[in-house]
Amino acid sequence: MENPFSTYASMFSDGCALMNEALAYQVDFGQRMTLFLDTKREQGDNFIEENRKGLPPVLHFDYEVIFNGRDLDDPVNYSLARITPDSDRKIPADARPVVIIDPRAGHGPGIGGFRKESEVGMAMRKDHPVYFMIFTQEPVRGQTLSHVFKAHIEFLKVIRLFHPEAERPAIIGNCQGGWAAALIAADRPDITGPLILNGSPLSYWAGRDTQNPMRYRGGLFGGVWLASLSADLGNGIFDGAQLVSGFEDLNPANSLWNKDYNLWRSVDSERDRYIFFERWWNGFVFMTKEEIQFVVQDLFVGNRLEEGRVEGGSGEIVDLRKLKDPIIVFASKGDNITPPEQALGWIERVWGTVSEIKVRHQVIVYLLHEDIGHLGIFVSKRVILKEHKELIDCVGLAKFLAPGLYEMIIDEEGEVRFEVRDLTQLKGGEGGEGGKDAGPFENVRKASEMIQELYEAILSPLVKPWGNEVMATVIRESSPLRQRLYAVSSMNPVTRMASAWAPYVRDYRMEAPEDNSFRKVEQVLSDSVVSLLNGYRDIRDTASELLFYGMYDNPMAHFILQEALDIPDPPLDVGCEDLKKEPHGEHWISRMVEGGFLQGLMRGLLVLGSVKQVVDKQQLTTMESLLKGQKYLQEMTLPEVKKVVKDQSQLLKVSRELAISTLPELIKSPEDRLTATAIFRASLEGAGDVDPAAKGLLSHLEALLKDRQTL
């Protein structure tokens, strides 16, 4: 017979264990709450102090300002900063400078270098001189984005003066900074080098239905007029906190719950990271009315950049087909602010076909991450140490790729290769995969222009008198994003009390284990809150999408706004007109044997590159080291080398067979033939059996160049 007391003993033991868990959780809960409130107090105090200082950059590195944009004829609140290298690091005189442009989308500058493992740190580790375009919290009254672009051009000229022996600076553009980078490089390709565009939405209309709702918001709110109203009420200044609020609204579960819950749940380990990041996230900057109107009307709602309808710093209309140096695009499938369609769709819209990319001697490389979010593209440590490390290397290696479109693949072992791609594999373009056509967005653009004209003519004169500095200050300080920070600062006696207890709690911390039953219940409740907020988000976004297409994708809207569908084609790039003149004439045939070793070498590399489907990073590295020692290249300027590449590419296009068969007439001496063969082999090294056509072509070139006197 079973002992009845054993049952009671087991129940008593379980009850004691549960009571012990409850006591442990109670102590842990109180201690975590104390440390949580102390962390929030520090967050609020930091916000107040950083604003008192004028929002200095959150750069981890020492720097010196070498050019202040306020000294220009059209003054702006931008400056050029030079990052100070470590005392034990020697930067070569011919090292290519790297310039970083941070987004000015509500936050302050510095996210591209806010810690050691960052874009700045990675570029410095590769011995590049690094420059940063920083900006202050307050804009110069009356400044426009055109003035900002002019200032950036002047900054790049200064960098060229500092590095006369180096190639033109590479530009890294983060998010909205990518617009600036693309505009400047297309406007002044003579002073810019390769581009790295990280999460940059150059195709704002693109995206996937049900997945990218942010692109609908401009249409739902009538376009640019609300931004103009906000700036008028702000005494001509637009508050960047409104942009930050829009970003947070995309993911209410994270903004309203997860971010603070994760801090509270792991306050011992999360405190420093939280404080560090929130210092940047809560640094709200301002823009002039002219700047925010350009951003919303021309870039967001208007989507004019990819169409070649935006004016650059030189005063000319910018055509992105004028980009000459390699373009490297980094995007993520987990990015809900700049999805891959918006980061890549402009490539198809601008060039149309891969053949056009090749005709214009352009190299475009894109890298896709599987799951990282928008901010993780710039700040995630694991992304910096893996993807950004290779992106920096790609700046120097991309010039050895044949013109065309490539995807950079980084496998699990860290090996890098470049695979040839077609535009259909980008999954971009108008509307994105699964999306509708551009018609509704064209209607939004036209509606925005009409409403804006009415607003400026009727309402703006009535609103501006109310938008004095007192009213502007009251509106800004009443912002929910600012009020929540004031509420947890030292002005709150509760957080001050928690701050007084925090040192004692840290000394006598008693953390409940993860398997504590009450902590498990806590996590379940948190997951329920997240699910509830995600459900609200999904319902809201679905309703917004249905409302958007109901408003702008119907016969009445198309009829009323049909003028918006009549868009002129972007202007042709006059720089490529010579490619259209007598492409198969005697002029080119007669040039088949014109030149020497350099012409033959480049012709051979181009023809090999044209048949390769995969290029390993090691191939490019080996080619780079072999080419550096060639006196033929050392004696030529970069523009001269580019002209050789352009001419040889055209000769291959005119008659591929004749161009190949005449290689021995260009590479004549045994020494030159051995050198060329070594470089040709290096261009395929590591390819294995991936490119049989390229390996067969290499054998054919070796046979052509084989000098019998060396046997």
- 75-119 pLDDT per residue, tens: 999 999 999 988 778 888 889 999 999 989 888 889 889 888 899
As separate numbers, helices (DSSP H) first and strands (DSSP E) second, the chain gives: 32, 15
| Spatial separation of the C-alpha atoms in residues 83 and 120, rounded to whole Å | 8
CA-based nearest residue to 155, from 197, 100, 104, 117: 100
Instruction: Look at residue 617 and tell me whether its pLDDT is greater than 80.
Output: no
Q: Evaluate whether residue 528 is within a structural domain.
A: no
Instruction: Assign 689 a pLDDT band (cuts: 50, 70, 90).
Output: low
> Looking at residue 693, what is its pLDDT?
75
Final residue belonging to a domain, choices 404, 425, 446 = 425
Going by C-alpha positions, the residue among 591, 606, 116, 529 that lies closest to residue 361 is 606
Predicted confidence at residue 639, as pLDDT, reads 66
pLDDT band of residue 708 (cuts 50, 70, 90) is very low
* β-bridge partners, 238: 287
pLDDT at 431: 39
Extract the tokens encoding 227. 């931004």
In a domain, 470, yes or no: no
Q: From the centroid of its chain, how far is CA 175?
A: 4
pLDDT mean over 231-257: 94
Among residues 391, 425, 459, which one ends one of the domains? Answer: 425
Q: Examine the pLDDT at 471 and tell me if it is beyond 90.
A: yes
| Structural contact between residues 518 and 512, judged by C-beta atoms closer than 8 angstroms | yes
Helix (H, G, I), strand (E, B) or coil at 50: helix
Mean pLDDT of 244-267: 93
Place of tokens 């900002």: 148
Q: Does the pLDDT of residue 583 top 60, yes or no?
A: no
pLDDT of 570 higher than 60: no
**Predicted pLDDT at 587:** 62
Distances in Å between the Cα of 514 and the Cα atoms of 261, 264, 439, 466 are: 15, 14, 53, 56
CA torsion, ordered 24, 29, 32, 37, to nearest 10 deg: -160
pLDDT in tens, 303-353: 888 877 887 766 778 888 888 899 999 999 988 888 899 999 899 989 989
Domain final residue, candidates 425, 455, 484: 425
Residue 13 pLDDT level (bands cut at 50, 70, 90): low
The interaxial angle of helices 597-611 and 692-705, nearest 10 deg, is 160
Q: Is the pLDDT of residue 444 over 50?
A: yes
User: Residue 33 above 70 pLDDT?
Assistant: yes
Does residue 141 surpass a pLDDT of 90?
yes
Question: Which token pair is 343?
Answer: 């980061």
| Domain-embedded: residue 526 | no
| pLDDT at residue 4 greater than cutoff 70 | no
pLDDT value, residue 459? 93
pLDDT at 275: 94
pLDDT of residue 522: 94
Higher per-residue confidence, 680 vs 32: 32
Q: How confident is the model at residue 21 (pLDDT cuts 50, 70, 90)?
A: confident
Mean per-residue pLDDT for 22-51?
94
> Would residue 236 count as lying in a domain?
no
Is residue 47 over pLDDT 60?
yes
Give the integer Cα–Cα distance in Å for 128 and 91.
7
The alpha-helical segments, DSSP class H, found in 319-468 are 340-351, 354-359, 376-379, 381-383, 389-397, 439-454, 460-463
Report yes or no on 85 lying in a domain.
Answer: yes
Q: What is the pTM of this model?
A: 0.85
pLDDT band of 136, cuts 50, 70, 90: very high
- Report the percentage of the chain scoring pLDDT > 90: 47
- Higher pLDDT: 695 or 629? It is 695
Residue 4, in any domain of the structure: no
Range with the poorest average pLDDT among 150-154, 354-358, 407-411, 669-673: 669-673
Once rounded to an integer, what is the mean pLDDT over residues 209-226? 85
* Alpha helical stretches, state H, 168-296: 176-187, 217-220, 225-233, 241-250, 252-253, 259-265, 267-281, 289-293
Give dist(CA 583, CA 202) in Å, integer: 33
Query: Token pair of 646, please?
Result: 């352009």
Pair of tokens at residue 248: 């947070």
Residues 284 and 244 sit within 8 Å (Cβ to Cβ): yes
The yes-or-no verdict on residue 248 having pLDDT over 80 is yes
Task: Give whichever of 15-29, 259-273, 427-441 has the largest mean pLDDT.
Answer: 259-273
> Considering the chain, what percentage of its residues have pLDDT values greater than 70?
87
More confident residue, 452 or 304: 452
Cα separations in angstroms, 556 against 174, 451, 559, 632: 39, 17, 5, 66
* Average pLDDT over the chain, rounded to an integer: 84
Q: How far is CA 410 from CA 338, 368, 419, 618, in A?
A: 21, 10, 11, 13
Whether residue 613 lies inside any domain: the answer is yes
List the single range of 40-49, 419-428, 487-496, 555-564 with lowest mean pLDDT. Answer: 555-564
How confident is residue 15, by pLDDT bands cut at 50, 70 and 90?
Answer: low
Q: Over 80: is that where the pLDDT of 650 sits? A: no
Q: How far apart are CA 292 and CA 296, in angstroms?
A: 6
How many structural domains does the chain have? 2
Do 587 and 665 touch, CB atoms closer than 8 A? no
Q: Are 525 and 531 in contact (CB under 8 A)?
A: no
**Distance (Å, whole) CA 452 – CA 497:** 50
Q: Residue 553: pLDDT above 90?
A: no
Q: What is the pLDDT of residue 628?
A: 65
Distance CA 641, CA 652 (A): 17
What CATH number did the domain enclosing 399 receive?
3.40.50.1820
The answer to whether 568 and 635 have CB atoms below 8 angstroms apart is no
Mean pLDDT check: name the lowest of 17-21, 330-334, 341-345, 432-436: 432-436
Three-class DSSP category at 418: strand
* Secondary structure of residue 332 in the 3-state scheme: strand
Contact 384, 422 (CB under 8 A): no
pLDDT at 28: 92
- Domain that includes residue 412, residue range: 63-203+304-425
Please report the pLDDT score of residue 169 as a whole number: 95
Asked if residue 429 has pLDDT above 60, the reply is: no
Q: Which of 152-161, 382-391, 645-654 has the lowest mean pLDDT?
A: 645-654
Whether 74 is covered by a domain: the verdict is yes
